[in-house]
A and B are shown apart, each in its own frame.
Chain A
Amino acid sequence: MAGPGTSMAIDPGQRQRGVRRTALLLGSIAAVFYVGFIVMMVLRATR
């Protein structure tokens, strides 16, 4: 809904790009941590 006092348009494209960029960055960091830790462990175990 429109709030009681609304103003200042937002560029939806720019916002969507920002969302995608941040999500990909954080997702990659989490995936690298998550998978990386397990892979590192497997490598260490097979050495």
Chain B
Amino acid sequence: MAYNDHAATAHDHDHDAHDHKPHGWRRWVYATNHKDIGTMYLVFAGISFFIGGTMAMLIRLELFKPGMQFLDPQFFNSMTTMHALEMIFGAVMPAWTGLANWMIPMQVGAPDMALPRLNNFSFWILPFAFTLLLATLFVPGGGPAGGWTMYPPLMLQGGAGFPMTIFAIHMMGISSILGAINVVVTIMNLRAPGMTLLRMPLFVWTWLITAYLLIAVMPVLAGAVTMLLTDHFFGTTFFTAAGGGDPVMFQHIFWFFGHPEVYILILPAFGIVSEIIPTFSRKPLFGYEAMVYATASIAFLSFIVWAHHMFTVGMPLAGQLFFMLSTMLIAIPTGVKVFNWTATMYRGSLSFEPPMLFALSFLFLFTIGGLSGLMLAIVPADYQYQDTYFVVAHFHYVLVPGAVFAIMGGIYYWLPKWTGNMYDQTLAKWHFWLSTIFVNVLFFPQHFLGLAGMPRRIPDYAVQFTDWNQVSSIGGFAFGLSQFLFPYIIWKCVRGGERVGNRAWEGAHGLEWELPSPPPFHSWTEPPSDALIQRGAAH
């Protein structure tokens, strides 16, 4: 049996009765509770996921056949740009912050996040930022269409939407920095006595490192987009060759932010998978400390690999060698992680509930994304792959069955804790299998298209690319449709279901499982005992 069926005790309900939580709209607008803010972040991420997903469907619709069918080329380019911005800044990053808000205080034995009002502010910036970003689609010149990387001079040719995009990016960046500060302050100051750094759950560790990355690189993005703004409006020529500037400098600055950003999107996924696999293997995580050091190594290396995104700009041979080799080094700590997850499962008592299925899918498919990343790191090979669909296939393998599947696995893992109800596992397994099958139908053919030379970010293509584009589009539509199961399963679970006890999964360890399900409005108002902490830190 995957979960125990002890109903929540009367004792727990007594505590709930003492929770003086605000009601109505004030509860959400003035929210300072980590669980409420976590829920708002997750709902926001879900909405962005479907908006960004709709844009992806439009892209795949246009690419179903060669020639121009439905979309104007400018609008198509807007869709590729907005899809990326929505998914990266609107879906994946807020989903991680939502999970951090929900879980970090419960996992470290804290009553709440350290800076609750700041927490409220960092969330409420986001709806305004994304309204502004989406509004660019309705102004003269349309939305940003130069790709999410915003390379000049193309980006500088934007219309009225250009400054709106820059302002929206500033707002997202400020929100991320404030959220990251809150996470670090909470972890460094509100850990229960006895919760030493090396007793913290891996999800907390990966988020701590992610938060440092965010504080370090979001200002770089802010600087880069402000330079674009001044080039456009104030006559500077940072990136304009005619005025002595250099458009390639933008690429260096952007990717100095952009590559750590990739790890911001994936490190918390490593943390979640490191929580799920031991639970459903009924074994402690293999090599806990190695996992922590591997995460820190990946974060460090992420600062010295940025130019592998721009091998073809014509950099010196020494530069190419350095960035190629430093990129390949990342395979070592990543390999440590994949090895340790596999070793955790070795001779474990495995069961395959939905969170474990998503974690296993992550393990296989993220590794495919990692391996194609290694191929892209090889300079001479990259000259062939650069700007083709091979790159699109690579990063979608890392981000969809990587980051997104880990988010879904995490939600399926902790949803019974949050609601006190078990969700419909049969439906969740349907969601898993449909997602896993169709994510491969969607993205695997894009490797072939890229190797055959199909460029990315184009609305039309040569006829020889038709077949695999059609397969990819069919996979895309099926993947997109199957995602509607996810909110339905969550909604059904929130409304009711089989009651679960404190420890919703029998193999689960960690302080969050010592609290009632659902947890009370305020989590650990008194710190947990050392015995509880030691029982939770079963690694």
Residue numbers of A with Cβ under 8 A of B are 1-8, 10, 15, 18-19, 22-23, 26-27, 29-30, 33-34, 36-38, 40-42, 45
Q: Mark B6-37, 1 if CB is under 8 A from A, else 0.
A: 00000000010010000000000000000000
In the bound complex, CA of A22 to CA of B186 (Å): 9
Decide: B527 and A1 in contact? CB cutoff 8 A: no
A30–B153 CA distance with the chains assembled, in angstroms: 29
Decide yes or no: A38 and B190 within 8 Å by CB, A4-B514, A5-B532 being known contacts: no
Nearest CB of chain B from residue A5's CB, rounded to whole Å: 4
Chain A CB count within 10 A is highest, among B189, B515, B516, B520, for B189
Contacts of B194 in A (CB 8 A): 8
Q: Residue A41 contacts which of B238, B522, B528 (CB distance < 8 angstroms)?
A: B238
Distance (whole angstroms) from the CB of A25 to the closest CB of chain B? 9
What are 23 sample pairs from A and B whose C-beta atoms fall under 8 A apart?
A1-B18, A2-B525, A2-B526, A3-B529, A5-B528, A6-B524, A6-B528, A6-B529, A7-B528, A7-B530, A8-B192, A8-B527, A22-B114, A22-B185, A23-B115, A26-B185, A34-B173, A34-B174, A34-B222, A34-B223, A37-B223, A42-B230, A45-B230
Interface of A, secondary structure class, is helix
Determine the distance from Cα of A33 to Cα of B223 in the docked complex, in whole angstroms.
9
Q: Which 10 A-B pairs have the closest CB atoms?
A: A37-B223, A33-B219, A6-B526, A34-B219, A5-B529, A7-B529, A18-B189, A2-B526, A8-B193, A1-B520
Does any Cβ of A come within 8 Å of B181's Cβ? yes
A36 to B216, CA, bound (A): 13
Q: Decide yes or no whether B109 CB sits under 8 A from chain A.
A: yes
Q: Which of A4, A8, A23, A40 meets B530, CB within 8 Å?
A: A8
Q: Separation in Å of the A20 CB from the closest CB of chain B?
A: 9
State in angstroms the CA–CA spacing of A29 and B528 once bound together.
33
A7 to chain B, nearest CB (A): 4
Tell me the bound Cα distance from A5 to B524 in angstroms.
Answer: 11
- B525: chain A residues at CB < 8 Å are 1-2
Kindly supply a per-residue 1/0 record for chain B positions 500-533, scoring 1 wherever the CB is within 8 Å of any chain A CB and 0 otherwise: 0010000000010011100010111111111110
CB < 8 Å: which of A10, A22, A27 contacts B188? A22
4 other contacts beyond A5-B532, A8-B527, A22-B189, with CB at 8 A cut-off?
A6-B526, A22-B184, A22-B185, A29-B215
The answer to whether B109 touches A3, judged by C-beta atoms less than 8 angstroms apart, is yes
With known contacts A19-B189, A33-B219, A45-B238, A3–B532 Cβ distance under 8 A: yes
Residues of chain B lying within 8 A (CB to CB) of residue A33? 215-216, 219-220
Give the chain A neighbours of B57 by CB distance below 8 A. none
Give bound CA distance, A32 to B291, whole Å: 32
Chain B minimum-CB-distance residue to A32: B219
A4 touches B184 (CB 8 A): no
Q: Which of B128-179 contact A (CB under 8 A)?
A: 173-174, 177
Q: Which B residues form the contact surface with A (CB < 8 A)?
A: 15, 18, 109, 114-115, 118, 173-174, 177, 181, 184-185, 188-190, 192-194, 215-216, 218-220, 222-223, 226-227, 230, 234, 236, 238, 502, 511, 514-516, 520, 522-532
Given known contacts A1-B525, A26-B215, is B220 in contact with A37 (CB within 8 Å)?
A: yes
Could you tell me the distance between the alpha carbons of A33 and B463 in the complex, rounded to whole angstroms? Answer: 49
Closest residue to A10 on the B side, CB-wise? B527
What residue in chain A is nearest B173 (Cβ atoms)?
A34
* Residues in B whose Cβ lies below 8 Å from that of A1: 15, 18, 515-516, 520, 522-526
CA distance A18 to B15 in the complex (A): 29
Find A38's partner among B185, B193, B223 (CB 8 Å cutoff): B223
Q: Within 8 Å CB of A19, what residues of B?
A: 114-115, 185, 189-190
**A30 CB to closest chain B CB, in angstroms?**
5
Contact between B527 and A38, CB atoms less than 8 A apart: no
Q: How far is the CB of B6 from chain A (nearest CB, A)?
A: 13
A6 to B533, CA, bound (A): 10
Query: Distance (Å) between the CB of A37 and the closest chain B CB?
Result: 4
